[in-house]
Structure 1
């Protein structure tokens, strides 16, 4: 069949054919683009979401068993229809769980994590998916809490620490039997922020359960924190020395007491807080019995009640002795 291209109707027919063909192609492409970018049904679009740091539910009788080796969190990857995925993420009605560990019983096991509450229209994968864990019989004990505090490092000079007061002197510890056998110490460590402490110390501290190497053990502690109060008391004080004359006095002599040259005029005393607070000076009794001429005497220091130590422990005292004739002579010289 031959076409007469010089015929106007033939030319028009061919132009119309290609116009319809081009229109159909453009319409189809536009419709496809609209369907992919603005779908009317989200179920036809597949999407993916990744959720990190999801807690893991441990399916076990916690009163009977203790489980070690399970990571705290896992990552889950969800894939499926956009509408279902959006609804799942909005409700968050799904969990990552272990298999029933009660059925496995004590021992070392390799388990696979599972997801509960996820629509069957979604595919998921969990990381980590498989891992080893240990199930052991659980043991519960009560232990006394020890307080560790280095008062020589943290207290000011002349102060000491009293008996610590704890909000809970004993804690309840639970864990695997093998771990509980390793417990060597249950303690709190008191480390004030500042040094040279003179006031009572009040802190809230974590309870530490350690093995004989000083490493923390994987156990549950109740309570995990306790309040600790350490009373701080003054134990030393520096006060002036007061000399007091004692003994049998010879009426023919007059005595004047002086601290010997090179001796301190103040004394450091150590003792109970109440006794220290009541002490305004330190009385040194000097016995002048039988002394007839000026002399230096070493006097041992007597401890008042509540005072346990003095620095120095003895004191050299100058006892100046004058006679009645010397005094009269002195008075006569003065009158001239």
Structure 2
């Protein structure tokens, strides 16, 4: 009878131990599962282009940032990595201007085709866009421009030519009225140390030299610069002549004494 009692007590004890162990394991597994499920990852993508929908035949748009930053959040690291790469990216940032009219308007940015399980926030979330009536003018004269600071002090410009002397300009009506000239601008990184030939950008500027928004066709041209040595200044020439005269006089005096 005593053996049976000990057996029953031992069985109950081990049963309690197994129950506690099983309950504890399930609790830990449940916590781990919840932790894994709630773990998320965040990545920021910069320079994401904005796809703007508008009537390009009727309007010209300007004055807005063409790229934004997007913060992506999600639990699937593989999907996040795929969206980080431009070549495999599915989502895009859009702005709808299909119903816009002439004027300056504020437009919200939308994120489309975002994979499930991800959230995205664009910065900024809105952009300001100037919408104008589209116009085009052909045959605008190109003026080559080289800053004096870019020329070697020992040289001077003999001639400057461009391969495209006239171009077409597309912009809005208000901006077209402000255009003073189209310039072919030598890049600031270039320095004239001799004859030069290279591709340079074209810009539309107003009378104060401010660059205006416009599409120029073609957008660049080939600039050719020929140079020649700087001519001696008159003061330098006089100084050289005077020095030569003094040397000659000194030579004659020495010769006379010798005789």
The equivalent of 2:58 in structure 1 is 64
Q: Deviations over 1:296-332 (max 9, x none)?
A: xxxxxxxxxxxxxxxxxxxxxxxxxxxxxxxxxxxxx
Shift of 1:136: 0.9
Residues of 2 paired with 1:236 and 1:130: CA distance? 58
Shift of 1:16: 1.9
Shift of 1:181: 1.5
Residues of 2 paired with 1:77 and 1:226: CA distance? 39
**What does residue range 115-134 of structure 1 map to in structure 2 within 5 Å?**
115-119=111-115, 122-134=118-130
Q: Greater helix percent: which structure?
A: 2
Q: Which consecutive residues of structure 2, in runs of 5 or more, have no partner in the other structure?
A: 233-243, 249-259
Q: Which consecutive residues of structure 1, in runs of 5 or more, have no partner in the other structure?
A: 238-260, 266-336
Q: Against the structure 1 CA distance between its residues 161 and 70, is the aligned structure 2 distance closer, same or farther, given a 3 Å change threshold?
A: same
Q: Against the structure 1 CA distance between its residues 14 and 147, is the aligned structure 2 distance closer, same or farther, given a 3 Å change threshold?
A: same
Shift of 1:138: 1.5
The equivalent of 1:113 in structure 2 is 109
Residues of 1 paired with 2:231 and 2:117: CA distance? 79
Superposition RMSD in Å: 3.8
TM-score (norm 2): 0.69
Q: Against the structure 1 CA distance between its residues 184 and 120, is the aligned structure 2 distance closer, same or farther, given a 3 Å change threshold?
A: same
Q: Does 1:8 align with 2:1?
A: no
The equivalent of 2:256 in structure 1 is none
Name which of 223, 238, 259 aligns with 2:218. Answer: 223
The structure with the larger Rg is 1
**Matched residue pairs, number?**
226
Preserved CA contact (<8 Å) 1:79 1:85 = no
Q: Which has the higher contact order (CA 8 A, sep 6+)?
A: 2
Shift of 1:146: 0.9
Q: Deviations over 1:207-233 (max 9, x none)?
A: 232111112112222222211113346
Q: Does 1:186 align with 2:182?
A: yes
TM-score (norm 1): 0.55
Residues of 1 paired with 2:71 and 2:228: CA distance? 61
The equivalent of 2:99 in structure 1 is 103
Residues of 1 paired with 2:147 and 2:122: CA distance? 49
In structure 2, the residue corresponding to 1:103 is in which secondary structure?
A: coil
The equivalent of 1:205 in structure 2 is 200
